[in-house]
Amino acid sequence: MYTIRGAAWFGLESSGCVLHGLDKITLDSGMKHLHDMGFTTVRMPFANSCLRASSVADWGTTANPDLKGITPLQLMDRAIASAKANGLNVFLDQHRPTTDGQSELWYTNDLPESQWISDWKMLADRYKDDPTVIGVDLHNEPHGQASWGTGDTATDWRLAAERGGNAVLSVNPKLLVIVEGTDKQPDGSGTWWGGALGAAGDKPVELSVPNRVVYSPHDYPSSIYAQSWFSSPDYPNNLTSVWDTHWGYLAKKDIAPVLLGEFGTRLETTSDKQWLSTLVSYLQTTGISSSFWSFNPDSNDTGGLVKSDWVTPEQAKLDAMAPILHPAQSSGSGSGSGSGSGSGSGSGSGSGSGSQPAPQPQPQPAPSTSGAVTATWQPGGSWSSGYVADLDVTAKSAVAGWTVSWASPGTTSVGNSWGMRCTVDSGTVTCTGADWAGALSAGQTVHVGLQAGGGPAPSSPQLTVTSR
C-alpha cells in the first residue's frame, strides 16, 4: 500500500498566480526541503483563472530570475519538474475558480461546468506522460449549496465528481481522482468544509475506471473553529469517533482509500496540541494518507512548516508529525509498567527513509496489570544511528505527572520529542510527561514519542514507569 505524505505549497491560486516564497528561496531548494522533512508528495493548488494568465507576477520570483515572465502554466511545469528531481510526487488541486476566493460549488457564473471539465482535461493531457503527477483534487471544499446523493445536478457534488472524474480518466486513466466531501453529514450535522463523507459509503462516486477514487476530507483544530466536539468532556478521546463517523470508516471498512487532504495548526494551544497528537496517532494506526496545510508560512490560520524566512523549520510541528513522516519499518509493540516484564513475538514490514536497514522481528513484553500508569512501546523506524518510537501512556487513576525510562545502549541524545521531555544518561533514556501529556485523568491515554540519536532502537525494552 502506498501512503501519501503530502504538504501543500500554495500560490498558483492567489493574486500574482505564483507559488509563494519564490522571492526568498529557489524552487529547487523548497522542493528539497519538503523531501528532507519526510514528505513524499506536494499538493499544488491553482485557480482556473491563473491557467489563462499571461505571466506570473514579477515580484513573486525575485529569487528565481529564470522564472521571470513565464506563464503560470509554465511555472506549474517547472514546479512539477523540480518535484520530480527532488523525489516528490504531485497532485493538482482546483482550489478556486478565480483568485478572488473559493466557491461553494464546482462552477460559478465566471466558470461554468463545461470550462471546469475542459480545464481538467487540458491538465490531464499536459501531464499524461509524466508519472510525477499522480492525481487530481477535483474541487476544493464543497460547502453551502453543495449536496451529496440528492440527484440534483445543480448541487449534487457526487454526480459532478463522476462527470469530472470520468472526463479526466478519458484522457489519463492512471490518475487518482481525489474527491472531497461537503460540509453536511447525512443527518444534517455540520463539519469542516469538505469534511463530510458520511454518505459516501452508501452513495459512492462511481467512475468508468475502477479503483481510481480517493476520498479526501479536511480536518482542523479548535483554533480554526470551535466545533462542538472540542468542548466535549471526553475531548480529545472523542476525536477517533468523530473521524470514524465523518470519513475514517471508508478506510477502516475497506470501502475506498482516504487522503486527509488538509490538516494544519499553529500548534500554540493545548487543545491544538492534543488534536494533532491524536490525529497523528489515528493516521498512523489506520494507514490513511495525509497532506499538511501548508509548507507556506504565510497561511494566516495555520502558519506553515517553515518560519517567515522560508528556511527555518517549524520544528515542533515536524516533531509532532514524526510518526507519519518517518513511518515504522515494522509493526509490533512492547509494553511495561513498574518493573513488570513478559514475552511474546511480533513482526511486520513497511517503508522508511534514507538507507535504514529492515529491522528484525521484535519480542513484545506483556502488558503490566499493576501501577497507576502503564506505558506501551510502539517501535518506529530504526537505523544504525538512531530511531523513532512512540509510547501510549495510560493512567488507571488521576496522576499529576509520570516518568518512563528504558535501557537504550548506544543512544547519546534525544533530538526531538512530543508530549514529553527526555534525557539520556549512560545508555538509559528517561522521559517525563510534559505540556498536554503531563497530568492525566483516570482512564486517559496519551500518544507521545521521540526521535533518538546515537544508536539503533533497543529490541523490546523493559519500561520502568513511575507516577506522582
Q: Give the position of cell 503560470.
A: 72
Which alpha helices (DSSP H) does 96-156 contain, by range?
113-126
What's the angle, vertex CA 328, arms to CA 325 and CA 332, rounded to 5? 150
Residues facing residue 258 across a β-bridge = 215
Question: Which residues are catalytic, by number?
Answer: 141, 262
* Three-state secondary structure call for residue 44: strand
Residue 285's nearest CA partner among 236, 324, 232 is 324
In Å, the largest CA–CA distance within the chain is 69
CA atoms within 13 A on the CB side of 375: 31
Cβ-contact 296, 459 below 8 angstroms? no
Q: Are strands 133-137 and 89-96 parallel, antiparallel or unpaired?
A: parallel
Cβ-contact 140, 157 below 8 angstroms? no
What's the helix, strand, coil split of the chain in %, to 5? 25, 25, 50
Distance between CA atoms of residues 340 and 342, nearest Å: 7
In the numeric block, which cell numbers belong to residue 82? 523540480
CA atoms within 13 A on the CB side of 318: 20
